[in-house]
Every structure is written in C-alpha cells, then in structure tokens.
Structure 1
Amino acid sequence: MNRLIPYSDEVYAYLLTAYIEGYAAVEVIVGLALVVFLIKGAGASRLSCRGTAVCLAMLWAWIGIGFYWHTYQPLNWAGTYFGWAALTEAVLIGAWGATTGGLRPDVGKAVPSHWAGLLGLVLAALIGPFMRLYSGDTVVAVQAIGVTPLATITATLSLFLLNRTRIPFWLFPLPVMLLVWESIRALVLFVMQDIVLLIIATVVLICLVHRLSKPGKSRL
C-alpha cells in the first residue's frame, strides 16, 4: 500500500486541515444551499432544477481541480487521474441536469430508502463541523460537501437516492470508483470520520442499486 498511499494519517490530517480552513466559506454556502434545495426542490420549476444540477456539477469540478489536482496530487500521483474522473462526472451531471431538469428531490416519502438518503446528507454536511468543534484537536482530517471528495460523493449519492425519478445509470460508475478509492484510503489510514461516511455511503449505494434493479422506466 505504500505506493498507493505514500503518506501517513498525520500528513493527511495536516493537508485537510489547511485546505478546509482556506475554503470554509464554501462548506457553509453549500450546506445552506442544500437546506433550501431540499425544502423547495420537490416543487421547484425545471429551470431551478437545471440550475441546481449545474451547481452540483461545479462542485464536482472543484473537487477535481481544487482538491485532487492542486492539493492531493503532490501527495499521490494518482490524484491527477482522480481529478480527471471528478471533472468527467461534473460534465455528465451538468449535461444531464441542464438538459432534463431532472434533479428534483422528494423528501416527503416515509420509506427506509429516503431515510437513508436524508441521513447521508445530514452526516455529510454535519460530521465535519461536529468533529472540528468537539474533537479538541487543532488538526483534524475533516470532510466537507463541495470541498472534499468523500463528503461530496456521499451527498451526491444521497441526492440521487432522494430524486423523484431514477437517475441514469451512467452517472454512477465514476462516483463509485472514487468511493472505492476513498474506502481503501480511509481503512488504511483508519480515519474514523471517513469510515462513518463510508458506511452510510455504502448503505445509500445499496438502496440505489435496489431502486435501479426494479422494473419500470425513469420518467426522465
């Protein structure tokens, strides 16, 4: 694993701490935007849903450029390829969302799969700030939606699960590939916050696979 993860958990924590401090405002803005989107999204117009999908695509573009290329790549040569994967996902989400307006959550269903989706969003948004406030450490390997990969992957899969219609299958391979990598990294470095997010992301993914396996066509 030394060639795949040529750094220690301490180095990774310092990297994330400095990176998150520089972009804390993005985390706050994205969190507030998600609350508004979930409240208004189900009844929103196609135009606003198109705009939301484009915004989600921009977050993925930032993960590719801001995190993988400019922050993570100096630690790991694979960051270059992960960056391209994130940018490709940004293009796919943006193209699909802008043309169909199909990113439209439904938070009113009292079913376990929707509870899993909501839990995924809540954990992805709050576990990082919670750890910063209550860990007592000045250096914490935190995750934040729109700023770091794992929280963004978890939030994206959760939004897909909450969507009123089934998401196209071709939007899944790249987030799943990056999730596999994040799983390897988190387990090798044993970052507890990341392991919690991995568990909920896996549950959300299982629910999504179950939904996609059901007969019937998406209305998109």
Structure 2
Amino acid sequence: MSEWWTYRLSDFLMFSPGTYWRLVELYNRDVWPAQLVALATGLASLWLAGTRRAGAGRVLAALLAAVWLWVGWTFHWQHYATINWAAPYFAAAFGIQAVLLVGLCILSRDAHPPSPGVVTRNLGWLLAVTGVVLYPLAGLLAGHPLSQAEVFGMAPEPTALASLGLLLASGQPPSRALRYLLAIIPTLSLLVGAATLWSMAG
C-alpha cells in the first residue's frame, strides 16, 4: 500500500480530462444560445463598472447575482454533478454568493458609486477584462475547440475572475469588510478550478 505522501493531486481526480471537456461541450450545446446573453451581460457589466452614474453599482450587483445563480444551477447542479460528487456543494456556494450580491444591491445607499484607487481600479479592470473577454480565448490557444469555450456567466472560473475584477473596478462595495466577504467564494472557486486544471494536466 502506497504512503499518503506518494499520491499526486491527479490521483484524487474523479474523472478524466476528456470526460470533463466533453461535459463542457455538451453543457454549451444544451444551453445555447445563452452564451450570447452571457456575453451581452459581461459587456454591460464592464460598462457599469466604468460609469459613475447613480445606481450603477446596484444594477451591477443585480446582474452579478443573476449570473452566479445561473452558473450554480445550470453548470454545477445540472451538469457538473453528474461527474463530481462535490458539485452540489459548489452550487450551494454559488447560491450564497448570489444572495450576498442581492444584499449588496438592496443595502447600497450611495447615490453614486465610490471611486476606487488607481491600483485597485487597474487590477480590477485587468481581472474583469480577462474574465469576460480573454478567458474564452485562452481555451482556444490551449487547443480546445470553440464548443468547449468557458465563458463568463456560463462557467465558474471566468465568472469568479470577472466578478472580482468588476467589484474592484467599480469600487463596490465601499466597505472593505464587505469587499473581503464578497471575495471569499469567488477566490475559493478560482482555487478549486485551478487545482482541477492542474490535476487534469498532471
């Protein structure tokens, strides 16, 4: 019997890379043309994060809440759960994030969204544009067909990445404590996704 330290992360993976990417492909096929709505939502979110208009932060939070609820239900609960026993827990976490974003939308009292610092704003834009625009292209560069593209508003990782960036770029929420709270689940989602990709590559 092998000792525990001889195991690699890939030894705990419950599915093959081919199975995962086939799942993504079937998922994209099943929900088409929701990808077009997701792309429009992503572009609208980028605009909302950049505008200083009153109420923009509330609308952005509402859009992100809908996106997190959608990905939690359609990807994690209805599709990913067929190959990963942990997916229902991921779905629950995405639902919690949606509730937190709804809370931000309801409780926000600012007439105008606050202006973040230069470093925070630039980091936010980098993450947001990467999640909405560049992440799907990265899959193509890695050799995956367009049918297996992971898109903001459809797949967990680009959604989490863009959400972090959009909140930073927009200065929402203004409270640092709330900002950290809203960053917990997206950060954990990115770590789980990175570990999964690392395992499949190993």
Q: If the length of structure 2 is used for normalisation, what is the TM-score?
A: 0.78
Q: If the length of structure 1 is used for normalisation, what is the TM-score?
A: 0.72
Where does residue 155 of structure 1 map in the other structure?
Answer: 162
Q: Identify which of 21, 24, 41 aligns with 1:13.
A: 21
2:58–2:105 Cα contact (<8 Å) kept: yes
Q: Deviations 1:27-81 (Å, cap 9, x if unpaired)?
A: 32123212321342xx2213x4323211211111111111100010001010011
2:45–2:60 Cα contact (<8 Å) kept: no
Q: Identify which of 66, 71, 83 aligns with 1:63.
A: 71
Q: Deviations 1:143-182 (Å, cap 9, x if unpaired)?
A: 2111111011101111222233344032232222222211
Where does residue 29 of structure 1 map in the other structure?
Answer: 40
Count the aligned residue pairs. Answer: 186
Q: Quote the Cα distance in structure 2 between the aligned partners of 1:76 and 1:176.
A: 20
Deviates more, 1:19-28 or 1:115-124: 19-28
SS of the aligned residue for 1:44 comes to coil
Q: Identify which of 44, 57, 73 aligns with 1:49.
A: 57
Where does residue 185 of structure 2 map in the other structure?
Answer: 174
Q: Quote the Cα distance in structure 1 between the aligned partners of 2:197 and 2:86.
A: 16
Instruction: Indicate yes or no: 2:91 matched with 1:80.
Output: no
- Structure exhibiting the larger radius of gyration computed from Cα positions: 2
2:10–2:200 Cα contact (<8 Å) kept: no
2:49–2:60 Cα contact (<8 Å) kept: no
Misfit runs of 4+, over 3 Å: 1-4, 101-107, 131-141
CA gap of 1:4–1:67, structure 2 versus 1, over 3 A, is farther
Q: Quote the Cα distance in structure 1 between the aligned partners of 2:114 and 2:87.
A: 31
SS of the aligned residue for 1:26 comes to helix
Q: Quote the Cα distance in structure 2 between the aligned partners of 1:161 and 1:57.
A: 16
Q: Quote the Cα distance in structure 2 between the aligned partners of 1:136 and 1:182.
A: 18
SS of the aligned residue for 2:15 comes to coil
Deviates more, 1:130-139 or 1:14-23: 130-139
